[in-house]
Amino acid sequence: MSKHIKGVTISQVADAAGVARSSVSRAFTRPEMLSPETVNRIMAAADQLGYRPNHTARALSTGRYGNIALIVPDIANPFFPPMIRAAQMQADSANFCIFLGNTEENGEKEDQLIGRFTGQVEGLILASPRLSDERIWAHAEKLPLVLINRDIPGISSVLIDSSVGVAEAVTHLAKLHHRKMVYISGPPVSWSNRQRQEAFDKTALALGVETATVPTLRPDFESGRKAVEAMLATGATAGIAFDDLTAQGVLTGLAERGISVPADFSLIGCDDVLGSVTYPALTSISSQSSEAGQAAIALLLEMLQTSKHADLRHMIATHLVVRNTTREPHSAVTSG
């Protein structure tokens, strides 16, 4: 029916109310500057015409866009939706809108998306970025930037400190008398993966537990399933997977081989995004991705207000959530 609809402008309201454009503007932004009657008159006219301030025009003249871009590698990875959701809500409460970008785990696309957002966002949040430190620095020079799950000197970030949770997990398994454990690893470029691997190795070493590592291609269900063969070949009786998706793949791979969890093999995931949704309910390392999303926005907003490129760090603690996928190994039952 109707064609391109021209919005009602400040000028039309001004005419209708018999005032200058600037007064209309002030009626909306600083009403205390105007007499109450004038404000009322303007508001009445505005309501009547159905006036809505134009976000874009306002942004152009003030330089405050009221938008934030959030860029993630893969929306479909269950780690991210809670994070995005929390970020959204936090931004919302400060009257900011969120641009969402999905990079398909691809650094180039990440660059490209950032480019597309310039000139319409006040700040940028990069979650688990795949870009090089250099590129990230370059962007951080032009725009307030907060990283999630990436640690680069001089750039603010929200870090999920998996090391505690991983240590708890290894200790938990050791207490159950597992003598050999395997780490099913994630993307080598991932900061989280490196951190988890290190904590795994370190804790195991301290406890005198034997270790092995099985690499995977991507953090997803299929990779986990395919890793099962190599995992079993290590002779380990328990495993910790890079994330819950991978763990779920492992769970399925084990079931397909008739290997029962936790009776025959103990498994722990990371991120706790599937939680009790699997069966048996997956023991996992909780990492509150939603808190990360919320904190990242809060950090960014703070940087915007103080208008300086601070180098802040927000650490998020993790802890083990024990459910039903861990138990003593057979060897322990007989020997202990």
Partner DNA sequence: ACTTGACATGCAACCGGTTGCATGAAAACT
Partner DNA sequence: AGTTTTCATGCAACCGGTTGCATGTCAAGT
Which token pair is 32?
A: 């205390």
The one-character DSSP state at 6 is P
What number of chain residues touch its own copies (CB under 8 A)? 61
Looking up tokens 């959701």 gives 85
Question: Which positions ≥6 away from 139 have C-beta within 8 Å?
Answer: 114, 124, 145
List C-alpha distances in Å: 26 to 29, 32, 47, 136, 281. 5, 8, 16, 39, 58
In the window 223-262, what residues touch its own copies (CB under 8 A)? 248, 251-252, 255
99 near DNA, judged by CB under 7 A: no
Give the orientation angle of helix 244-256 with respect to helix 221-233, to 10 degrees.
60
Least distance CB 93 / DNA (angstroms): 20
19 binds, among DNA, its own copies, none (CB under 5 to 8 A by kind): DNA
How many CB atoms neighbour CB 322 within 10 A?
A: 13
CB neighbour list of residue 135: distance below 8 Å, 6 or more residues apart: 107, 111
The window from 29-37, 235-243, 281-289, 323-331 that contacts DNA (CB under 7 A) reads 29-37
Q: Is 63 in the site for DNA (CB under 7 A)?
A: yes
DSSP state of 259: -
Candidates 30, 36, 37, 63; binder of its own copies (CB under 8 A) is 63
- C-alpha pair distances (Å), 165 with each of 272, 287, 305: 11, 8, 34
Choice from 23, 65, 110, 270 touching its own copies (CB under 8 A) = 65
Determine, following the binding rule CB under 8 A, whether residue 142 of this chain makes contact with its own copies: yes
- Classify the phi-psi angles of 154: left when phi > 0, otherwise alpha if psi is within -120 to 50, otherwise beta: left
With CB under 7 A as the contact rule, which of the stretches 33-41, 191-199, 212-220, 298-306 interacts with DNA?
A: 33-41
CB nearer to DNA: give 30 or 334: 30
Query: 6 vs 335, which CB is nearer to DNA?
Result: 6
The smaller minimum CB distance to DNA, of residues 59 and 259, is found at 59
Q: Closest by alpha carbon to 312, among 160, 161, 155, 159?
A: 155
Q: Which CA distances in Å does 299 have to 56, 78, 304?
A: 25, 23, 9
**Structure tokens given for 255:** 């079931």
- Give me the least distance between CB of 102 and its own copies, in Å please: 5
Terminal CA-CA length for the chain: 79
**Cβ at position 58, least distance to DNA in Å:** 4
By beta-carbon proximity to its own copies, the closer residue of 203 and 286 is 286
For 148, phi then psi, to 5°, come to: -120, 130
Q: Applying CB under 7 A, which of residues 49, 50, 57, 141 lies at the interface with DNA?
A: 57
The reply to whether 7 sits near DNA by the rule CB under 7 A is yes
Q: Which positions lie near DNA, rule CB under 7 A?
A: 6-11, 18-23, 25-26, 28-29, 33-35, 37-38, 51-54, 57-58, 60-63, 119
Q: Which positions lie near its own copies, rule CB under 8 A?
A: 1-5, 7, 52-60, 63, 65, 67, 74-76, 78, 80-82, 84-85, 88-89, 92, 95, 97-102, 104, 113, 115-120, 141-143, 221, 248, 251-252, 255, 276-279, 281, 307-309
